[in-house]
Amino acid sequence: MISVTPIYAGLITLLFLVLSFRVVGARRSTKTSVGDGGNEVMLKRMRVQANCAEYAPIGLILLALAELQGMPMVWLHLFGAMLLAGRALHAWGFGATPQIIPARRWGMYLTVGMIASLALANIAHGLI
């Protein structure tokens, strides 16, 4: 049987690594070892990476739980794609200068929509 969650976990990890390398690049160019050094570019890159680290894990955990409970594969792919697209859109919109507010907004809509939907689905399945 094909597992869905590892696909999205892998793709979101690659996105996180890209965001991490952007932080490392900013650290090198600004010679900032710890913190943001008062540099706005550094701060923005750190927050883009941290935002992904804050939201992606809970989405992936909920996706894995839904998969373990037997959610149909088409729904798992829908929710996985929502999380991936949400995180990518948010990173692009938030990380741009100036920010691309519609991309940031839709990134959060997709991410929060996925998390809320799967939270409710997992609760409902657990109660049945």
Region of 17 please: left (phi>0), alpha (psi -120 to 50) or beta: alpha
Q: Closest Cα to residue 15, out of 89, 69, 100?
A: 89
pTM of this structure: 0.93
Please state, in angstroms and rounded to a whole number, the distance separating the CA atoms of residues 119 and 50.
22
> Within 3-100, where are the H helices?
5-30, 40-68, 73-95
Residues 17-27, mean pLDDT to the nearest whole number: 94
Contact 89, 34 (CB under 8 A): no
Please state, in angstroms and rounded to a whole number, the distance separating the CA atoms of residues 110 and 89.
9
Q: What is the pLDDT, as a whole number, of residue 109?
A: 98
Say yes or no to pLDDT of 32 above 90. no
Tell me which amino acid residue 27 is: R
> Mean pLDDT of all residues in the chain?
94
Q: Read off the pLDDT of residues 37-85 as tens digits, 9 standing for 90 and up.
A: 888 888 999 999 999 999 999 999 999 999 999 999 999 999 999 999 9
- Structural domains present in the chain: 5-127 (1.20.120.550)
Least confident piece of the model among 27-41, 89-103, 105-119: 27-41
